[in-house]
Amino acid sequence: MNACLPTDDIMYHLIYSHHFSKQFLQGDFYPRWLQDMNVGFGSPTFFFYGPIPYFFTSIFSLLPDYSSSSCNDLGIASFFALAASGLTAYCWLKEIVPKNYATLTSIIYMGLPFYLAVDLYRRFAFAEYWSFVWMPLVLFFTIKIVKNSKINIIGLAISLALLIMTHLPTFIIFFPVVIGYAFFVSNRKQWKMTFIRLNLAIIIGVGLSAIYWLPAMTTQQSISMDAILTGMYDYKNNFLFTGPKVQYNEYKYYWNYLELLTIVSGGLAFTGWKISRKFSAATLRQEVDYWMVISLLSIFMMLPLSEFIWDTLLVIQKIQFPARFNTILTISITGILAPVISQLQVNYAFSNFFSKVNYKKKLSLCIYLFIIISTVTIIQIIPCQKIINFHGSENTILALAVILFLLIGISFIRQPINFYRYKFVLIGFVLIISLFLNGIFLGKSAFYLRWSNAQISNILKISQAADEHRPQ
C-alpha cells in the first residue's frame, strides 16, 4: 500500500499524481495543464484524462509522513478504491439477495483477477481500476429509480458523472448494460416511468461531467490522436484468441494470461447460469439470465468475430483494446454469483456436511488451506527458485493447488455425495479457486519488487522532460 510496484503504467501515474496534487494543493482545483512537465512547457494531460482518481491522491498526499519521493498517495488511493468497491458492490447486491450473501459476493468481487491482479498489480491501470468503484453504484441507483424512489435520480446522475470523469472508455462499454438493466428490473407497466427517470438521470449526469468531456471532445484536433489509435493501440490488432498482430515481445505471457482468464471467467459464468436452472425463485433466474447474456456479449466483443461491430460503431474504437470488455465480464460474474450463492444452502446440501465437522477439524482445514496458499505463493515469488520457476510452472502449480483444495475438502465429508447432481457446484468451486490463484500468480512480482525512494525521485525529475503518454 505504501510502496511503488514496478507495474506497466505506474511511472506515468506517479508523474501525473505528483504534478496534479502539487497544483491542486496550491489552489488550482481542477489542474488540466500540468505546468511543470516537459521542461516547463507543460502537458495537457488532464484535458483528456479523467481527473476523479487524482483528486483522491491529492487528498491522501496530505496524510502524515507523506514524502514527495514516495508512492504513498497512489498506494493509499488504490487501497481506498478497493475498499470502496466492496462497499458499492454490497449496496448493489443487497437489493438482489440477503445482506449476508451480498457481503460474501462483494468480497469475491474485490478479489476477481481482472480487477485486482490485472488492473492493479500488472498494468496499474489506475483509472480503469477506479471504475470498478462506480459501476456497482450505478447499478444500485438504477434499481432504486425503478422502485419509485425519485431522489435516487440524483444519485444515479452523480454516479454516472463520476464514472465518466474516471474512465470514459469504461463508461462507453458499460452504458448499454445500464440501459438494459433498468428495463430488465422493471416490469412492463413501469417502463414508461423508468424511461423518463433514466433519461433525466443521464441528462443530469452528462451535464455534471461536461466540465471534463466537453473540452476533451472539442480539443482533440490539437493532439496526435492517430498515435493512440494505430499500431499496437488499434483494436484490430488486439482481439483475443488470434494472437497479437503487432509484436508485443515481453507481453506475450500477459496476452496468454488474458485469454486463459477470459475462458475461465466465461466458464464460471456458464456454471452459475446452469446451477440457477434449479432455482425456485423466478426473479433470481431472470437476474442470472440477464448477466449471462451480458457475459456472452462481453466475450463476443473480445473475439475477431465482432470486428464488424467495431467497424460500425466508431465510438468504441477509442477504447483501443477489446480485452477491456473483461471489466463488464467481471461485473456480470458478480451479478451471477450473488443469486447462485444465496440459493446454494437451499438447493444443495454441502452446508450439512460441514455443519457436522467438529471445531478441531474446521481449524485444521483453515490451517491446511493457509499452508497451501502460502506455499504456492512463496514458490512463485522467490526469485532464486530458478528450477521451480520454469516456463509454464504457474499452470502446473495452479493445477496441483486446485487438486489439494479438493482433496482436503473431500476428506471432511463423512457421507457419500451424489457428484452427478452437484457437478456444476463442484465445477464452479474449481473455477473460482482457479481464478483467485491465477490472480496471485500474475501479481507475484508485487511481493518482492519495489522502487526505492531514490528511483522515484529520479523519475519525478525526469518527468519534467517526459514524453507524452496517456495510459488508460
Grid coordinates standing for 122?
Answer: 500488472
Give the per-residue pLDDT at 349. Answer: 44
Give the per-residue pLDDT at 353. Answer: 47
Give the per-residue pLDDT at 124. Answer: 87
For the chain, counts of helices (H) and of strands (E): 20, 0
Give the per-residue pLDDT at 254. Answer: 77
pLDDT reading at 196 higher than 50 = yes
Give the per-residue pLDDT at 239. Answer: 87
Percent of the chain's residues with pLDDT above 70 = 67
Dihedral sign, CA of 303, 304, 306, 307?
positive
Q: How confident is the model at residue 462 (pLDDT cuts 50, 70, 90)?
A: low
Among 147-156, 336-345, 408-417, 438-447, name the one with the lowest average pLDDT: 408-417
Give the per-residue pLDDT at 218. Answer: 86
How crowded is the C-beta side of 76, counted as CA atoms within 13 Å?
Answer: 18
Secondary structure class of 164 (helix, strand, coil): helix
Instruction: Provide the phi-psi class of 412: left if phi over 0, else alpha when psi is between -120 and 50, else beta.
Output: alpha
State which H helix or E strand residue 463 sits in: none
Give the per-residue pLDDT at 37. Answer: 82
pLDDT reading at 84 higher than 70 = yes
Q: What is the DSSP string of 21-34?
A: HHHHHTT-SS--SB
Asked whether the whole model's pTM tops 0.75, one would answer yes
Q: Give the chain's mean pLDDT.
A: 78
* CB-based contact 135:170 (threshold 8 Å): yes
Give the per-residue pLDDT at 207. Answer: 95
What are 254-269's pLDDT values in tens digits?
A: 787 888 888 888 888 8
How many whole angstroms separate alpha carbon 258 and alpha carbon 442? 10
Among 210-219, 279-288, 383-392, 431-440, name the one with the lowest average pLDDT: 383-392
Secondary structure class of 43 (helix, strand, coil): strand
Grid coordinates standing for 271?
Answer: 456454471
Grid coordinates standing for 292?
Answer: 449471462
Which is more confidently placed, 345 or 208?
208
Give the per-residue pLDDT at 70. Answer: 59
How many whole angstroms separate alpha carbon 105 and alpha carbon 90? 8
How large is the average pLDDT for residues 13-37? 89
What are 264-284's pLDDT values in tens digits?
A: 888 888 888 988 888 767 888
pLDDT reading at 253 higher than 90 = no
Give the per-residue pLDDT at 42. Answer: 84
What are 46-72's pLDDT values in tens digits?
A: 998 999 999 999 998 887 655 554 577
How large is the average pLDDT for residues 133-139? 97
pLDDT reading at 92 higher than 90 = yes
What are 172-190's pLDDT values in tens digits?
A: 999 999 999 998 888 888 8
What are 316-342's pLDDT values in tens digits?
A: 888 888 999 999 999 999 999 999 888
State which H helix or E strand residue 313 sits in: none
pLDDT reading at 390 higher than 50 = no
How large is the average pLDDT for residues 436-464? 61
How many whole angstroms separate alpha carbon 54 and alpha carbon 413? 50
The closest alpha carbon to 319, from 249, 242, 239, belongs to 239
Q: Is 436 exposed, middle or buried (0-12, 13-18, 19+ CB in 10 A)?
A: middle
The closest alpha carbon to 333, from 298, 309, 369, belongs to 298
How many whole angstroms separate alpha carbon 360 and alpha carbon 16? 52
Give the per-residue pLDDT at 235. Answer: 84
How large is the average pLDDT for residues 358-383? 58
Helix residue spans in 412-446 (DSSP H): 423-442
Longest alpha-carbon distance in the chain:
73
How many whole angstroms separate alpha carbon 386 and alpha carbon 294? 42
Secondary structure class of 228 (helix, strand, coil): helix
How many whole angstroms separate alpha carbon 34 and alpha carbon 41? 9
